[in-house]
Structure 1
Amino acid sequence: MRTADCDARNASADLILRGGVVHSLSPGGGGATAIALRDGLVARIGVDREVMALAGASTKVIELAGRAVLPGINDAHLHATWLGAMWPHTLFGEEAGPGPAPQRPLLDAAQRRRAILRAGELAASLGITSYTEPGLGPGEDHGATGAFGTSVAQQYRALAAEGLLRARVTVLWLFGELDGPSNLESFLAGLATTDGATSDPRWLRFAGVKIFADGIPPMRSAYTHHCYADGVSASLLVAGVDDADREENLARMIVAAHRAGHQVGVHATGDRSIDVTLDAIERARTERDIDLGHYIIHGDLVTGPQLRRMAALGVGLDTQPEIAIRTRPLVDAALGPGSAAAAWPLQAALDEGVPLCLTSDAPVLSPDWRRQIAAADEWMGPTADPRRRMGRLLRCYTVEPARQDQAMSWKGTLTPGMAADLCVLESDPLALAPAELPDVEVELTVVDGEIVYEHGVRVAVPETV
């Protein structure tokens, strides 16, 4: 007699995609041509015959006709609310460096809600099923854009409770200004009072905090061990009476967040700010030895020894290779000729085993992940094995961000029991050069087993305001 578990495993699927190539991005997951989804989870993956055994009278079957299925894309650093207000404009535009943002402030709750929903539709059209909103909170309650304050977090809570989010969202709290100063007292007060509870943490999770340690090299505001070419030296953005005091205050922020069980994402671009951050994380881990998935954001001038330290500490790196390409002449102008060649060492990060997420930082850049993968390949230079490189870079937009979200047990790959989050591309990316990827159409996006985007078809969005 069949057991109840066996009956459940063989129950009819809600949706089957067949006749293509399915990349689970899990070990030993090759050779699949079809995938079945049921109750928001992957039910089965394999060849068509195996998967079609789960077809029932109510099962929707989609013919892939050679198209490729990937786990849903996870952009680990995407300012979605700001993106929803600005799109189709970005800070970089077509220029080498960032410019002023269009003045489109979000003035009330309704505008913020619409911006989040608009960003969700854009994300769905790109195959993005998860993203991290890196910095919302009281430090920006009076910010000029209206896209980063506590009220934005409240709108995310409301949309999640109403079931209206189009992607899964991770949020980092921000207790200082965006791209600006913070102080230890406000940070500690924020840690003590912030409520991270949500109706469903698989859809909306407040994971931890973001800290701005410094600025960026082209603006000569990255905190470095050496002066810039014009003799200028930068300081940390964290308040203090001198460099030593600022460094200690940054360390105390990180240790306090770690002690409270919060993940920390530190915007650190200069080699000196990265050293201070890693010292603090090591200090925190000595006090409480638990891996909370801390990570460095951008990491432009990270060095080889620092990458080895990061790998040993389990510290991740969120980076944007398109920025590396665009700002190469600006970095050389700021730090001296040839400096950019040693910056953004993506291949070294992979080789050292650093948890690496490729991200867009939209709306600084376009949220199109295909462009970031192509840019990463260009920055890393020629390879003898483009298929292997493509596979590794795809993991930087799927598997590694799930690790950063502390969600590898339930999303990021396509194996039975994992979240039914996926995207369908018109061509198999592993059969292409990365430079060709931006021209490959996203055909379908599925989140939690539900189709949220289908190329050429308007997917209904509930009326919300």
Structure 2
Amino acid sequence: MGTSVADLVLRGGPVHTMAGARPATALAVRDGRVLRVGSDEDVRDLTGPGTEVVDLAGRAVLPGINDAHLHATWLGALWPHTLFGDTGAPGMAPERPLTTPAERRAAILRAGDLLAGLGITSYTEPGLGPGEDAGSTGAFGTSVVEQYRDLAAEGLLKARVTALWLYGELDGPSTLADFRAGLATVEGAGPDPERLNFAGVKIFADGIPPMRSAYTHHCYADGSRAELLVAGGDDAEREANLTRMVLDAHQAGLQVGLHATGDRSIDLMLDAVERARAEHDVDLGHYVIHGDLVSAAQLDRMARLGVGLSAQAGIAVRTVGVVNAALGPGRAEGAWPFQAALDAGVPLCLTSDSPVLPPDWRREIAAADRWMGPAADPRQRVATLLRCYTVHPARQDGAADWKGTLAEGMVADLCVLAADPLELTAAELPDVAVDLTVLGGRVVFERAV
């Protein structure tokens, strides 16, 4: 890549590129991209009078963290409150509606500051659009879209944002007619899709098991059954309408993120994607959101069809009791099969769903490790789970060719941790401080010492 002088050099500590490269202790950045990765000596000729040099002193460099399912505007409105406590089912959100454009702008900026302090350089807003223009929170309607566009144009976003359009209600119903009307008005990504990109659409297929609203093949423990959230006169019509939504989005070249927790709703998603790929064989990175009750057979299909999974380990460990109460004793222990997903080759993104949970990826990795049980190699487990916050989310964003790793030529999105996570167990990770966050070669957070 030549011998141009670097804008930024980090040296003197482990650099984990997540790109399968040889061990490195230094990284050089120019014009927002990784210029060179190697030893301290390898970057010496790239350091000039104008180069900002960071002495790592043994601290570790990782690719920037990507939370692939995080409601940042809502988080900015509610923080430090979240919907979940330490145990049990989610509670009611505090009444803090965003009622003006200025309030929405401030919430996005507040979330950006919080996330930068956690080393998060990318996140997905999973559902913004007209379906929530009359929503009670004010955090998901088209006014939020306008604020994101303005902030991106002004260069004020502290993370790269991927968003999904929403043409129904958040956690609520949608109709095929409204969905099709929305698809007809989809706007482009904007002037810089690496900063703000509307990648696709979100559809709510069902609810969640603790509320007995997941769409399952079997009755709940009390004998009840759930219906799809997609409108229709009966189960068959609702299923046909959901299938049509997925097919229409695929035909329009849009990614589908389907909120599906029940095994029956996941089957419908996979059947629709298989049909869509047969009609127009292009991998758009469709994915299942949550996927609580996904089965081993479904994971194999997902891997074959290129369907990803975006899930929350923190919810799994907090809801064992209420899920068993809803589904029957012992059912929760077979839910959220993270290891099986990885073994099947499904791109697994660990996410916070914040403000359902706090947006702390270190705690989510620890929760996933706890849920998965003892590991033969605890430190290799950490490396594997870190990919669920870097490499796999970049793939979900359709951006694996330019972010998610620190290979030469990739965007210089990174964070510096006070200790090397690959020398720790997952349980130790939440105590490791984030010292520095860099977005596109620019420092957006530095911890005061």
Tell me, yes or no, if structure 1 residue 141 matches structure 2 residue 133: yes
- Partners of 2:86 and 2:318 within 8 A in 1: no
For 1:176-195, list aligned pairs within 5 A: 176-195=168-187
2:237 matched to which residue of 1?
245
Moved over 3 A (4+): none
Q: Distance in 2 between matches of 1:292 and 1:194?
A: 16
Residue 90 of structure 1 contacts residue 364 of structure 1 at CA under 8 Å; is this kept in 2? yes
Q: Percent identity?
A: 70
Residue 141 of structure 1 aligns to which amino acid in structure 2?
Answer: D
Give the CA deviation at 1:9.
Answer: 1.8
Q: Residue 65 of structure 1: SS of its match in structure 2? A: coil
TM-score by length of 2: 0.99
Root-mean-square deviation (CA), in Å? 0.8
Q: What runs of 5+ residues in structure 2 fail to find an aligned partner?
A: none
Match of 1:113 among 96, 99, 105: 105
Alignment of 1:354-373 (within 5 A): 354-373=346-365
Deviation per residue, 1:99-149 (Å, 9 max, x gap): 000000000100000000000001100000000000000000000000000
Quote the residue 1:385 is aligned against. 377
Report the equivalent of 2:144: 152
Q: Give the whole-Å Cα distance in 1 for the aligned partners of 2:383 and 2:207.
A: 32
Secondary structure in 2 aligned to 1:129? strand
Which residue number in structure 1 is paired with residue 64 of structure 2? Answer: 72
Are positions 1:21 and 2:14 aligned together?
A: yes
Partner residue of 1:100 out of 85, 92, 108 = 92
Give 3-state SS (helix, strand or coil) of 1:180's partner: coil
Query: In the TM superposition, what is the alpha-carbon distance from 1:415 to its structure 2 partner?
Result: 1.1
Q: Say which SS state the counterpart of residue 33 (structure 1) adopts.
A: strand
Contact 1:160 1:199 in 2 (8 A): no
- The number of residues matched between the two structures is 449
How far the C-alpha of 1:386 sits from its partner, in A, is 1.3
Q: Is the 8 A contact 2:312 2:350 kept in 1?
A: yes
Residue of structure 1 in register with 2:318 after alignment: 326
Contact map agreement 1:23 1:30 (CA 8 A) in 2: no
Correspondence for 2:419: 427
SS at match of 1:376: helix
Q: 1:384 deviation in Å?
A: 1.0
Structure 2 counterpart of 1:417: 409
**Partner of 1:193: helix, strand, or coil?**
coil
2:433 matches 1:437 = no
Q: Give the AA of the match of 1:447.
A: L
Q: Identify the residue that residue 3 of structure 1 maps to in structure 2.
A: none
Separation in 2, partners of 1:456, 1:196? 39
Q: Deviation at 1:53?
A: 1.7
Picking from 258, 261, 275, the partner of 2:267 is 275
> Contact 2:310–2:349 (CA<8 Å) still a contact in 1?
yes
* Structure 2 CA distance for aligned equivalents of residues 81 and 143 of structure 1: 13
- Partner-residue secondary structure (3-state), 1:9: coil
Q: Hey, what does 1:209 align to over in structure 2?
A: 201
Whether 1:38 aligns to 2:30 is yes
Residue matched to 2:156: 164
Whole-angstrom distance in 1 between the partners of 2:224 and 2:93: 26
3-state SS in 1 of match to 2:165: strand
1:275 shift after superposition: 0.4
The reply on whether 1:219 has 2:238 as its aligned counterpart is no
Give the whole-Å Cα distance in 2 for the aligned partners of 1:346 and 1:234. 25
Amino acid corresponding to residue 303 of structure 1 in structure 2? S
CA–CA distance in 2 between the matches of 1:156 and 1:284? 31
Mapped to 2, the partners of 1:21 and 1:259 lie a distance apart of: 44
Inter-partner Cα distance in structure 2 for 1:259 and 1:155: 29
Counterpart-to-counterpart distance in 2, 1:199 and 1:142 = 28
**Alpha-carbon distance in 2 for matches of 1:243, 1:9:** 61
Amino acid across the alignment from 1:99: G
Q: Does 1:300 align with 2:324?
A: no
Return the letter of the residue paired with 1:159. L
Match of 1:15, as an amino acid?
L
Q: How many Å apart are 1:31 and its aligned residue?
A: 1.5
- Which of 303, 308, 313 is equivalent to 1:316? 308
Cα deviation, residue 95, structure 1: 3.7
Asked if structure 1 preserves the Cα contact closer than 8 Å seen for 2:67 and 2:120, the reply is: yes
CA contact (8 A) 1:16 1:52 kept: no
Q: Secondary structure at the match of 2:75?
A: helix
Distance in 2, matches of 1:128 and 1:433, equals 21
Alpha-carbon distance in structure 1 between the residues aligned to 2:106 and 2:171:
24
The gaps in structure 1 that reach 5 residues or longer are 1-7, 458-465
Report if the CA contact (8 A) 2:87-2:319 is conserved: no
| Contact 1:32-1:47 within 8 A present in 2 as well | yes
Give the whole-Å Cα distance in 2 for the aligned partners of 1:62 and 1:135.
38
